[in-house]
A and B are shown apart, each in its own frame.
Chain A
């Protein structure tokens, strides 16, 4: 029997731990938030893993521009798709949370606008890929858009929330989550959760790349 690679096992353990401990361990009792604070382990970690995977996408985009091997383009495109998926999950979990704490599914908030813009960027990226038929040109043009979009996204995510008030913790005078979590009870779940979800994202990416490479090979032969 083939044994799973160590990081896949680590991912499974971390996610199981996140789900079990995340729902069972005690959390700080806070007004408004109440038990919904447990969403921290799912909502925030989605954004962490999205940024990670999108960074992979842009790095492989840069490598593709310089080297020109098809494989780098496949990695870049698949990473963008996985990142988009994580972003949609992040928006969904955030929307549920917002409805229970702020009283609306969507609010005009700097971070929500940033999230919406990031999603728009990557939807546009996928549409761009579909409009070009030539493989080499497709890879090059979409890598250029990817680098452009990613850099602008980082600039906007860094700049916009600082200019306006935000309902999110840690912005606009609100204390960050570190301020709520006085005795570090949440950290012991939160950090493994980041590792677990990020590794799972890498795992999904890994499978998608292998799938896409096989499809490519079938098409060329």
Chain B
């Protein structure tokens, strides 16, 4: 059931290509704008921070629509045949896949246009992976909450920022270590924190989403 739902999300996304294309174009356009404004960033801290800020806004953009694109009729249909946990999990997994794809694309373009300063690539890619999963799970739950309100997009930003800022601080810190090529053992505590936050968000969404779903 879960796999079928994820498959359905992917199929839906591929059918109206403008959504997927829009997200990728957003990333590319933002990176290119940064390239035009900064030209070349030599300073690792700035390079790192700018990358994650682009990622932050791109992910809010990409995930904000995940609960509004289903029509009320279709949501009612899901409600009758599915467990709410299946719905939220499928959305989260799908969004995580989307975010991983997007972050890789963003990284490649960022490295191409602006600069490539990463000295410890495996850890950086691991941080990218954990960051994508974290962004997707936090934002999926928040977009479920925001879909119940009237002003959707601004609510999405207001509600998610307090949750994303600490996550982002941790991400920036550990990816700065990876950029500077610091030994893996220093990075492990931070990676553990990222995994811990992911687990907490996942658990909370799993428990709380059924209450949100009952309309």
A residues engaging B (CB < 8 A)? 65, 113-114, 117-118, 120-121, 124, 127-128, 131-132, 137, 140-141, 143-145, 147-149, 151-152, 155-156, 159-160, 163
Contacts and interface: CB of A to CB of B under 8 A. Distances in A.
B166 A117 contact: yes
A132 B149 contact: yes
Given A151-B204, A159-B196, A131 B149 contact: yes
Nearest to B203: A151
Contact of A128 (B149, B163, B166, B212): B149
Given A163-B190, A163-B193, A141 B149 contact: yes
Contacts of B200: 151-152, 155
A131 B208 contact: no
Contacts of B155: 127-128, 131
Contacts of A137: 148, 215
B64 to A, nearest CB: 15
Interface of B: 141, 145, 148-151, 155, 158-159, 161-163, 165-166, 169-170, 173, 189-190, 193, 196-197, 200-201, 204, 208, 211-212, 215
Contacts of B158: 124, 127-128
Contacts, number: 79
| Majority DSSP secondary structure for residues of A touching B | helix
Contact of A140 (B151, B162, B211): B211
Contact of A113 (B141, B166, B204): B166
Contact of A117 (B165, B193, B208): B165
Contacts of B161: 120, 124
A65 B145 contact: no
Contacts of A124: 158-159, 161-162
Nearest to A148: B204
12 contacts: A113-B166, A113-B169, A117-B162, A120-B161, A131-B149, A131-B150, A137-B148, A141-B212, A148-B141, A152-B200, A152-B204, A155-B200
